[in-house]
Amino acid sequence: MTDRLEELPEDWSRALAVVAHPDDMEYGAASAVARWTSQGKDVGYVLVTDGEAGIATMPPHEVGPLRRAEQTASCAVVGVTTVEFLGHRDGLVVEGVELRRDLAAAIRRHRPDVVIGINHHESWGGPSWNHADHRAVGRSLLDATRDAANPWLFRDLPDEAWGGCRFVALSGSPQPTHAVDVTEHLDAGIASLRCHEAYLANLGGDMADVGGFLRTNAAAAGPLIGVELAATFEVVAV
């Protein structure tokens, strides 16, 4: 990580967060969402899957509705009331035209100024391997944001083309370019992650210590924009 990042522009009104699973936004980006909704910005969430394959000790038909409910509760903590689920199969999301079409449809439907996602790179940094769904959704989201603006693509969709998205901001990237001051909003971000109670109960190690994990990351990022606590993003122009 660089020793200095730019502050993420906040001269916009509406954002759409698009991620693969319930809890994806809560590992860092939700604190920024809490800041933005406190400013009066409109932030909606689109979940590509229900996260039904995310708890090994429970069958998917039980996990899916549970994780949807936990995500809706998590969103409420950070001021988000619009939550949609696209119903793709957890763990088996495929990058390609079908996914791009669904994401372009969501972007045209919500007409955001900014799109929020999470890390689409192969790694989180160091000797790690990113989840296949994250990679597929992240890469397709970048393409779909451009697709949504092209009136000659996906002409059967009900909503008109939308070219008003200024950039895509990806949370958790190993190549961050920008950051957001979340000093006053980290507690809300932590509370939103804790809403994923059933999922967190099956985790171990550092990821289960949600307060410590988020606070450590935010404290490391804060000095990069001269604040106490920050959330980082890789900003991509599309």
Residues written for the chain: 238
> Quick one: angle between helices 186-194 and 210-221, nearest 10?
150
- H helix or E strand, kind and range, residue 170: strand 167-171
Q: What pLDDT is stored for residue 202 in this prediction?
A: 83
Per-residue pLDDT, averaged over 52-61, amounts to: 94
Question: Per the domain annotation, does 208 fall within a domain?
Answer: yes
Please tell me whether residue 25 adopts helix, strand or coil conformation: coil
Burial class (CB in 10 A: 0-12, 13-18, 19+), 43: buried
Per-residue pLDDT, averaged over 42-63, amounts to: 96
Specify the pTM. 0.95
Q: What pLDDT is stored for residue 208 in this prediction?
A: 59
Question: Per the domain annotation, does 200 fall within a domain?
Answer: yes
Question: Per the domain annotation, does 1 fall within a domain?
Answer: no
Question: Per the domain annotation, does 75 fall within a domain?
Answer: yes
**Residues 177, 185 contacting (CB under 8 angstroms):** no
Question: Per the domain annotation, does 131 fall within a domain?
Answer: yes
Question: Per the domain annotation, does 179 fall within a domain?
Answer: yes
Q: In this structure, what token pair is assigned to residue 103?
A: 């994401």
Please tell me whether residue 69 adopts helix, strand or coil conformation: helix
The edge-to-edge listing of strands for the beta sheet with 230-236 is 6-7, 178-181, 230-236, 167-171, 114-118, 14-19, 42-49, 82-88
Domain that holds residue 137: 6-236
Q: What is the CATH number of the domain that holds 196?
A: 3.40.50.10320
Q: Give the chain's domain count.
A: 1
Which residues does 72 contact at the CB level (< 8 Å), separation at least 6?
A: 83
Question: Per the domain annotation, does 64 fall within a domain?
Answer: yes
pLDDT digit string (tens) for 185-228? 999 999 999 999 999 988 765 555 677 889 999 999 999 999 99
Q: In this structure, what token pair is assigned to residue 69?
A: 């409910």
Per-residue pLDDT, averaged over 88-115, amounts to: 98
| N- to C-terminal Cα separation, the chain | 23
CA 153/CA 165 separation, integer angstroms: 17
The rounded percent of the chain whose pLDDT value lies above 90 is 90
